[in-house]
Structure 1
Amino acid sequence: MGIKSFQGARRQQQNTTEVNAFRVCDFMSRDLITFRPEQSVEEVIQSLLKNKISGGPVVNSNNELVGIISEGDCLKDISESRYHNMPMEQHTVESRMAKNVETIDGNMNVFDAANKFLESKIRRFPIVENGKLVGQISQKDILIAALDLKGQSWR
């Protein structure tokens, strides 16, 4: 007499290529609001408010990423200008932007990108290909990807 299994039919293993298909480049924003190093901080503030965004990449005339400017950078500029009683109009993006910008690969899996967000406390990562800015992924984009994946394969 053979041994009988009472486990029942096992569910077939999920295809891991399904999960790997959820790449950053599939969810990143490609139509970006960018800033130039020579722009004034005041122009950036107006654009952030008008477009309801919290920051954006700074690119040169060749669309190469040179920095990122955020609401926090603008607040710092306002605070220091007021403290020193100096007009803001002369301050440029280049003087306030973060220059050491961490980027991620557009082919990275969105779950790996989620971990990178958690580890770094950064709100957005630019994606660069061949030296040019091609997109940006935000925490919100990762949440959208997670809900998309849930609808397709989480049961």
Structure 2
Amino acid sequence: MGIKSFQGARKQQNATESTQLKVRDYMSTNLITFKPHQSVQEVVEALIKNKISGGPVVNDNQELVGIISEGDCLKQLSESRYYNMPLEHDNVEKRMATNVETIDGNMDVFDAANKFLQSKRRRFPIVENGKLIGQISQKDILIAALSLKGENWNSTTKGGS
């Protein structure tokens, strides 16, 4: 990774080209996923244990079928109390959001930042050839911006000091 940064800094005449950061370079690939048949209680336990606020739901072929979040689980919890039904009687498939917006792994991180701002979402799954390959979060975009600052913004301003 150090060599790649060095080469990027040398191409100062073409700064915009060398600094293009792609979503796929900053996405998380080691994801905690859920299955449609899992109980909401299992999801709640996984969210708490892993300190996450939600996750993608995939079928047995690793195809994205939905997203389940803390909010979905809270809604189920509220309804279970109202209808006097325990958590373990409800599953992910009944609670997950199925209208899932994805993002292209080749998208520039700055375009992805705009997409986050417009959608008010915390994360986007990345799908390739129908299969879930990763997820990008707002924090991942911030990490990409910091790496750009460290590698390129400083290198173009050295001459002025």
Same fold at TM > 0.5: yes
Cα deviation digits, residues 74-102 of structure 1 (max 9, x gap): 11110111112112211000000000100
- 1:55 corresponds to: 54
- 2:4 corresponds to: none
Secondary structure of the 1:36 match is coil
How many residues align? The count is 143
Equivalent residue letter for 1:18: S
CA distance in 1 between partners of 2:87 and 2:48 (Å): 17
- 1:33 corresponds to: 32
CA distance in 1 between partners of 2:83 and 2:14 (Å): 61
Displacement, 1:19? 2.3
| CA RMSD, Structure 1 to Structure 2 (Å) | 1.0
CA distance in 1 between partners of 2:75 and 2:55 (Å): 16
Q: Which has the higher helix share?
A: 2
Equivalent residue letter for 1:26: D
CA distance in 1 between partners of 2:110 and 2:104 (Å): 13
Q: Structure 1 residue 15 and structure 2 residue 19: aligned?
A: no
Displacement, 1:132? 0.3
Q: Structure 1 residue 116 and structure 2 residue 131: aligned?
A: no
Secondary structure of the 1:68 match is strand
Q: Structure 1 residue 107 and structure 2 residue 131: aligned?
A: no
CA distance in 2 between partners of 1:123 and 1:56 (Å): 11
- 2:130 corresponds to: 131
CA distance in 1 between partners of 2:13 and 2:115 (Å): 27
Unpaired runs of 5+ residues, structure 1, are 1-11
CA distance in 2 between partners of 1:45 and 1:55 (Å): 9
Equivalent residue letter for 1:77: Q
Q: Structure 1 residue 145 and structure 2 residue 144: aligned?
A: yes
Displacement, 1:13? 4.9
Displacement, 1:17? 1.2
Q: Please identify runs of 4+ aligned residues in structure 1 that moved more than 4 A.
A: none
Equivalent residue letter for 2:151: Q
CA distance in 1 between partners of 2:18 and 2:40 (Å): 44
- 2:88 corresponds to: 89
- 2:41 corresponds to: 42
- TM-score, scaled to structure 1: 0.89
Identity %, equivalent residues? 73
Secondary structure of the 2:124 match is strand
Unpaired runs of 5+ residues, structure 2, are 1-11, 155-161
Equivalent residue letter for 2:103: I
Secondary structure of the 1:154 match is helix
Displacement, 1:14? 5.0
CA distance in 2 between partners of 1:56 and 1:104 (Å): 15
- 1:67 corresponds to: 66
